[in-house]
Structure 1
Amino acid sequence: MASAHRVVVKVGSSSLTDEAGNLSPDRLAALVDVLARRRLVGSEIVLVSSGAIAAGIKPLALSRRPRDLATQQAAASVGQGALLAAYTGAFGRHGLTVGQVLLTADDVTRRTHYTNARRTLERLLALGVVPVVNENDTVATHEIRFGDNDRLAALVAHLVDADALVLLSDVDALYDGPPSRAGSARIAEVASVEEIAHVDIAGTGSGVGTGGMQTKVEAATIATAAGVPTVLTATPLVQAALDGDDVGTVFHPTHGRGRARRLWLAYATTPQGRLVLDDGAVAAVTQRGKSLLPAGIVGINGRFSEGDPVDLVDTRDQVVARGLVNYDAKELPDLLGRSTRDLARELGPEYEREVVHRDDLVVMHGHRR
């Protein structure tokens, strides 16, 4: 952590708000002071920050965080401007410029959106800017949203090929029991998620945030699966975490660095349907690295459009892969079981394309070669 050049830092709403749930300029400034010092000694910092909805609560005279999507989006619309203004001022006092990057899940699943997001972040970093990333709550729907910024931060760490990820909240570490219970001990290191299978990590977190400990462990699992070491700790300990001190919980990489886009596909997407594959197609996709063709599909479930993510399942309904489909759901029934050559001859050359191309497909854990 101490030597990491490119670091993604995620901070939750509870770390940026006061007791009433409103954005706290003092808390925000204290975090920025630490991150700015790290940036000014040569590291690159990407900040994934919650807080837009919380920042909109007071201006809209709301008594608490709204629960319905429309009011959440309204609060985010008002609050995102206030949040960015606060970051602009706080980083500006250190002579640093910030750039706003708002992402939806759609931005990281469709090829052109994904490429654009990566290019934008890389260019901002090259220009010495501190990107401030948040989910685009004003346009996200229940179906396409990340749901919490912990997972978004892990995926951004993939996107920019970060050297480290720091997840900050109001909890200083992962414990082997409820932190408030006598005898609960901090878990200093996690080599694999199986090591903590016995730990109860249920819970929803604070009243102004959406993520609890479970989402943070899931985010750490995503990041470490791509070779990004992750530290989970409390926001007041951010300096110690960046210095590599023995604080929080360190999640060690479980795999080497993989193809970021396929990791996004596996973890960032919400499938819009299912394609049922025969045994031959399952083997072709999972064992031989082939694209999915119409001939190997025996069933279709769900409503999806061209470019949407879908799960590929075997005849026992076990998910074996996920990919971006090249046809609408209404087009596929007439194509099932037929070769692309016959389809092209009968319907035209555009029907010679794969249902899911291997470059837009990731084999899920447990089915990889």
Structure 2
Amino acid sequence: MRVVVKVGSSSLTTPDGHLDPDRIGTVVDAVVTVRARGDEVVLVSSGAIAAGLGPLNLARRPRDLPTQQAAAAVGQRALIAHYSESFAAAGLVVGQVLLTVDDVSRRSHYRNAHQTFAKLLELGVVPVVNENDTVATSEIRFGDNDRLAALVAHLVHADELLLLSDVDGLYTGHPDLPDSQPIREVRSEADLAGIDVARVGSAVGTGGMVTKLEAARIATAAGIPVRLTSAARAVEAVEGEPVGTLFTPTGKRRAARLMWLAHASETRGRLVLDAGARRALVERGASLLAAGIVAVEGDFAAGDPVDVVDPERVVIARGLVNFDSDELPEMLGRSTADLAAELGPEREREVIHRDDLILMS
């Protein structure tokens, strides 16, 4: 069995931004419990920026990207040092894996990430994953580690995703309200109807219940069950106790790299299709050819993710484009044979190959 455990910043740090050894110890105990029964585990851990606040004398999480990156550079070292020391006491070795969107949405990068995880797990290492906040820009960020954890769970073919938070599960309203009731199981979107999950995240984190629900949707749609509970109950959760909220699978596993493309990437432009091209993509599973494109929007390069929209500007797909945005206008509406004859054989290929495209519901 393979488990992905995700823990947020507020579950690892003190209010002033310092790492809390006791809180880290609770998470480590849960991971050690999984390993002791012979299972594999990947730990997706927030906390790098939060861990840097104290050493840099910052009162709260910075809003500007350069200061966030500076805090991450200081805090990531402290975070991984704590994990290394704590796991070493249990005889386990950790490996740090820092990811950006480009690391996993582009085909060659994705393959490298997949192979790295496979080898670490084969060697008995506990991968500790975080977004690479030190170098990530606003255009290439996952945005929150809940979504990152769901995508990592799919990437490593996990059997379960455990989301650890500062609350012990999903409630019908804000957990502090006396009339809010815990929800023990979510089987479909219908079970979430009328639930108020709008809540402000902690002073050191970026998420909240909204991001955890989105992570649960991503994972369960790919056939992975999700349990949401508090970090304090992590050991109970990995021991199979019915704590927190269980989200049962709603779909089947999909091509992992395309899951990253759908949920992790920020698109750089849009391709507008005619009705015939829309039918070819949606009904026949075809690649996207220049003949069916009527307009190009945005500034992008070959290999960038773009949205594919129908004549009503509704997004129907997302894919990795094979041409720069300034190359495409002269190609629109023309057959591949015509393009090859006039512009050369390098234009005789798909604008987006089917293997690099995912339909969006």
Cα distance between partner residues in 1 of 2:10 and 2:2: 25
Letter in 2 for 1:195: D
- 1:182 and 2:178 aligned: yes
- 1:38 and 2:26 aligned: no
Cα distance between partner residues in 2 of 1:113 and 1:25: 34
User: What's the offset of the Cα at 1:263?
Assistant: 1.4
Count of paired positions: 361
Q: Is the 8 A contact 1:278 1:314 kept in 2?
A: yes
Letter in 2 for 1:9: V
> Which among 81, 96, 101 is matched to residue 105 of structure 1?
101
Cα distance between partner residues in 1 of 2:306 and 2:112: 22
Partner of 2:254: 258
Q: Is the 8 A contact 1:166 1:232 kept in 2?
A: yes
Which one is further off, 227-236 or 178-187?
178-187
Pairing of 1:153-172 with structure 2 (within 5 A): 153-172=149-168
Q: Deviations over 1:279-334 (max 9, x none)?
A: 10001011101000000001111111111111100111111111001111111111
> Which among 305, 308, 312 is matched to residue 312 of structure 1?
308
Q: Give 3-state SS (helix, strand or coil) of 1:263's partner.
A: helix
> Which among 90, 95, 100 is matched to residue 94 of structure 1?
90
Which one is further off, 197-206 or 222-231?
197-206
Cα distance between partner residues in 2 of 1:50 and 1:123: 23
User: What's the offset of the Cα at 1:221?
Assistant: 0.2
Q: Is the 8 A contact 1:204 1:210 kept in 2?
A: no
> Which among 345, 348, 353 is matched to residue 352 of structure 1?
348
Cα distance between partner residues in 2 of 1:191 and 1:37: 27
Q: Give 3-state SS (helix, strand or coil) of 1:287's partner.
A: helix
User: What's the offset of the Cα at 1:194?
Assistant: 3.4
For structure 1, the residue ranges without an aligned partner over 5 or more in a row are none
Letter in 1 for 2:273: L
Q: Percent same amino acid at aligned positions?
A: 63
Q: Give 3-state SS (helix, strand or coil) of 1:143's partner.
A: helix
- 1:65 and 2:88 aligned: no
User: What's the offset of the Cα at 1:348?
Assistant: 1.0
Partner of 2:43: 47
Q: Give 3-state SS (helix, strand or coil) of 2:92's partner.
A: coil
User: What's the offset of the Cα at 1:356?
Assistant: 0.4
Partner of 2:144: 148
Q: Is the 8 A contact 2:171 2:183 kept in 1?
A: yes
Cα distance between partner residues in 2 of 1:136 and 1:214: 22
Partner of 1:269: 265
Letter in 1 for 2:298: G
- 1:122 and 2:87 aligned: no
User: What's the offset of the Cα at 1:198?
Assistant: 1.7
For structure 2, the residue ranges without an aligned partner over 5 or more in a row are none
Cα distance between partner residues in 2 of 1:197 and 1:267: 23
Letter in 2 for 1:159: L
Which one is further off, 54-63 or 72-81?
54-63
User: What's the offset of the Cα at 1:240?
Assistant: 1.5
Cα distance between partner residues in 1 of 2:57 and 2:182: 39
TM-score, scaled to structure 1: 0.96
User: What's the offset of the Cα at 1:21?
Assistant: 2.4
Cα distance between partner residues in 1 of 2:305 and 2:122: 32
Q: Deviations over 1:72-113 (max 9, x none)?
A: 000001111110000000000000000000000111110011
Q: Give 3-state SS (helix, strand or coil) of 1:166's partner.
A: strand
User: What's the offset of the Cα at 1:150?
Assistant: 0.2
User: What's the offset of the Cα at 1:256?
Assistant: 1.5
Letter in 2 for 1:255: G
Q: Is the 8 A contact 1:262 1:360 kept in 2?
A: yes
Q: Is the 8 A contact 2:17 2:52 kept in 1?
A: no
Cα distance between partner residues in 2 of 1:79 and 1:266: 30
User: What's the offset of the Cα at 1:159?
Assistant: 0.4
TM-score, scaled to structure 2: 0.98
> Which among 284, 290, 315 is matched to residue 288 of structure 1?
284
Letter in 2 for 1:236: A
Which one is further off, 259-268 or 323-332?
259-268
Q: Deviations over 1:96-143 (max 9, x none)?
A: 000000000111110011010010001000000000000000110011
Report the RMSD for the aligned CA atoms in angstroms: 0.9
- 1:363 and 2:354 aligned: no
User: What's the offset of the Cα at 1:38?
Assistant: 1.6
**Off by >3 Å, runs of 4+ in structure 1:** none
User: What's the offset of the Cα at 1:231?
Assistant: 0.5
Cα distance between partner residues in 2 of 1:197 and 1:113: 39
Q: Give 3-state SS (helix, strand or coil) of 2:171's partner.
A: coil
